[in-house]
Amino acid sequence: MPSWKDKDQDRGKLFGRRAALLAGGQLLLLSTLVGRMYYLQVVESAKYQKLAEDNRINFRLLAPPRGVIYDRHGEVLAHNQQNYRVVVVPEQISDVTLALDALSEVIEVPAFVRRRVMREIRRKRSFVPVTVRDNLSWEEVSRIELNATSLPGMQIEVGLTRAYPFGPAVVHAVGYVAAVSEQDLTGEPLLELPDVRIGKSGIERQHDQALRGTAGTSQVEVNALGRVIRELSRDEGRPGKAVTLTLDMGLQSFANARLASQESATAVVLGIPDGDVLALASHPSYDPVPFGRGLTSQEWQDLLRHPYGALNSKTIAGQYPPGSTFKPVVALAALESGMASSQRFFCPGHFELGDAKFFCYAFKTGGHGQVDMVEAIAKSCDCYFYNVALRIGMERISAMSRRLGLGAPTELDIPGERPGLVPSREWKKATTGESWQNGETVNLGIGQGYILTTPLQLAVMTARVATGLMIKPRLTRAVGGVPVDIDPPEPIGLSPQNLAVVQRGMDHVVNSPYGTARAAAIKEAAFRMAGKSGSAQVKRITQRDRDMKNTDSKKWEWRFRDHALFVSYAPVSAPRYVCAVVVEHGVGGSAVAAPICRDVLLEAQKRDIMRGGGVKVARAESL
């Protein structure tokens, strides 16, 4: 039996082994901890130093000032102005509702604004400022500052907002900016900033990238919650580039003023031969500023329901039958096919094709009698062009239409342009499933039927007829101070003699005793214009209408009346300007649209003289 000494020795050995194991375990843990600390503090020190720095310092993007838009003479069309806004910081007040009530006693705070503010406060952290009202007047800012002690949590901030000095007068060309929508997001961080506005229409959209500029950065110190402690550094970025347009704002304003007496109308003025768009007026119009702050639902609905289509840029997106303004195209197609300008047709006031009867506007007086091409253009004889259209066929008419700029976008540097329509046999078959009929060729001969044109296309067509050059319109003159290069227009390839016949006919429209627009002639010989009137039917006149003597569209409801059109160029001796006017449901091209063209062309020429000849004088060498 072991003695008590042996037992003590065994227990001592066991304790020693356990103590050694425990010490070894502790040493292992300590070694692991030391190794981990070494790894974190030495091996990975740079990485964790950067992470710690990022937690303390944030980089924030700064929206750059948007580029300024000018007209051709340096007039500012769009720029930035200081925008004063009042914001509320929820963490600085105990009751937001009471704070808004107090602010309402100083400035107006509508109910819908209060609801929006409360929604944003619920979504955001308490230290994040929430905009209550922006675009404050200086008087409103002053009232808030004077009552600052009774408006805890309210602060005035200063930013930039887009301003349009001429507002509605030029919005269809310049366009407007608005908040970035979900569809606009491209992954560019700048677009996610709450105050950024981008171009949504017109030149603002066309040159948005250039106008937008390059974002700046702000390096700020923040705490663990993300609250800004102080700004460490700031780089303002690069402002947007300036864009200079071909528009002449003085002429644009004049054109708008001339259209203002009509319910709905549009005018385009081109400088030739460079194709500069000098005026692009569409009436009625709208104010671009509310789009920048955000339209209310009621404001948007009012614009959508406007009876005369204020949102629609009629100059590039309005599509109308050209009516008799199309007759120079048909005449050129006939001359180029070999028909002599001296060829005469008899006009008894109507034209029969099978069982169908097509009328000339002179049917009440027994027609125009025997007329040649120049007389037919000057008198706008429908029967003459009915005969011509059937003789040469719709293919030649359509081909000449496209050659003169119809049936396709003119490629003006602005979004939203519509193509119009020059019909073909194939188009009709594919669209309606029916074959082309001779009666449709007859209608095409006077610019009726399926054919559709925009006012800009009519201006381009007229410019090509007036010069014999392949004129192309442009709206941008320079971006960032760098001129936009344009190639000199090439000759269109039409016979100079044939062009001269049509030009003589258009001259006689205005300047001969029997011309349809003689009452709109410019009296000063040096400024004399040539042109062509048109009245495009909207409602078909039925036999029942004729039997009931209900053929005067002036007596019809406005939306059923004929459109009034006029295309023109001046001066006749050496064209420098082209003007096309469409008055929706204006009835008479010569009576309503021609006087507007006359006044606009006269103003353009006088402004040219006052400025020492701003637009080059040129014609095709072949003419």
**Which carries the bigger pLDDT value, residue 365 or residue 322?**
322
Instruction: Tell whether 42 is covered by a domain.
Output: no
Stretch 43-54: mean pLDDT, rounded? Answer: 56
Pinpoint the alpha helices (H) of 188-285.
202-206, 208-212, 249-259
**Which carries the bigger pLDDT value, residue 370 or residue 99?**
370
* CB contact set of 538 (below 8 Å; sequence gap of 6+): 553, 559, 560, 561, 562, 563, 585
**Which carries the bigger pLDDT value, residue 551 or residue 145?**
145
- Cα dist from 59 to 129, 155, 159, 215, 233, whole Å: 18, 24, 19, 12, 9
Number of structural domains in the chain: 2
Q: Per-residue pLDDT tens for 386-419? A: 999 999 999 999 999 999 999 999 999 999 999 9
Task: Please list, residue by residue across 307-336, b when 16 or more beta carbons sit within 10 angstroms of its beta carbon and e when fewer do.
Answer: eebbbbbbbbbbbbbbbbbbbbbbbbbbbb
Predicted local confidence at residue 154, as pLDDT: 84
CA-to-CA distance for 372 and 344, rounded, in angstroms? 4
Stretch 98-126: mean pLDDT, rounded? Answer: 83
Examine the domain organization and report whether 273 and 372 are in the same domain.
yes
The answer to whether the CB of 594 falls within 8 A of the CB of 520 is yes
- Cα dist from 456 to 14, 377, 525, whole Å: 106, 22, 27
Catalytic site residues? 324
- DSSP for 440-501, written as a single string: HHHHHTTT-TT-BB-HHHHHHHHHHHHHSB----B-EEEETTEEPP-PPPPB----HHHHHH
Predicted local confidence at residue 297, as pLDDT: 78
CA-to-CA distance for 267 and 358, rounded, in angstroms? 31
**Which carries the bigger pLDDT value, residue 13 or residue 323?**
323
Stretch 63-70: mean pLDDT, rounded? Answer: 89
Query: Pairing state of beta strands 130-133 and 216-222?
Result: unpaired
| The model scores a pTM over 0.85 | no
The number of CA neighbours under 13 Å toward the Cβ of 301 is 3
CA-to-CA distance for 96 and 119, rounded, in angstroms? 12
Predicted local confidence at residue 121, as pLDDT: 81
Q: Per-residue pLDDT tens for 380-391? A: 999 999 999 999
Structure tokens that stand for 334 in this block? 């006939």
Question: How many beta carbons lie within 10 A of that of residue 140, not counting itself?
Answer: 17
pLDDT category of residue 425 using cuts at 50, 70 and 90? very high
Predicted local confidence at residue 622, as pLDDT: 30
**Which carries the bigger pLDDT value, residue 249 or residue 54?**
249
Examine the domain organization and report whether 202 and 313 are in the same domain.
no
CATH code for position 290: 3.40.710.10
Stretch 591-598: mean pLDDT, rounded? Answer: 96
Predicted local confidence at residue 615, as pLDDT: 44
- Asked if pLDDT for residue 54 goes beyond 80, the answer is no
508 is in which domain, residue-wise?
249-478+486-610
Instruction: Tell whether 520 is covered by a domain.
Output: yes
Q: Which of 222, 245, 268 is the last residue of a domain?
A: 245
* CB contact set of 27 (below 8 Å; sequence gap of 6+): none
Predicted local confidence at residue 232, as pLDDT: 60
Q: Is 311 left (phi over 0), alpha (psi -120 to 50) or beta?
A: alpha
- Provide the mean pLDDT of the chain: 85
Examine the domain organization and report whether 241 and 268 are in the same domain.
no
**Which carries the bigger pLDDT value, residue 13 or residue 257?**
257
The label of the residue with tokens 């303002």 reads: 236
CA-to-CA distance for 580 and 298, rounded, in angstroms? 35
Q: Which of 223, 245, 267 is the last residue of a domain?
A: 245
Stretch 499-507: mean pLDDT, rounded? Answer: 97
CATH code for position 188: 3.90.1310.10
Stretch 289-298: mean pLDDT, rounded? Answer: 79
Examine the domain organization and report whether 213 and 311 are in the same domain.
no
Kindly report the backbone phi and psi dihedral angles of residue 100, in degrees, each rounded to the nearest multiple of 5, phi listed first: -70, -35
pLDDT category of residue 623 using cuts at 50, 70 and 90? very low
Q: Which of 210, 245, 280 is the last residue of a domain?
A: 245
Predicted local confidence at residue 27, as pLDDT: 75
Examine the domain organization and report whether 296 and 337 are in the same domain.
yes
Q: Which amino acid is at 12?
A: G
Per-range mean pLDDT, top range of 46-60, 400-414, 557-571: 400-414
Examine the domain organization and report whether 267 and 151 are in the same domain.
no
Examine the domain organization and report whether 154 and 188 are in the same domain.
yes
Examine the domain organization and report whether 452 and 578 are in the same domain.
yes
- Asked if pLDDT for residue 614 goes beyond 50, the answer is no
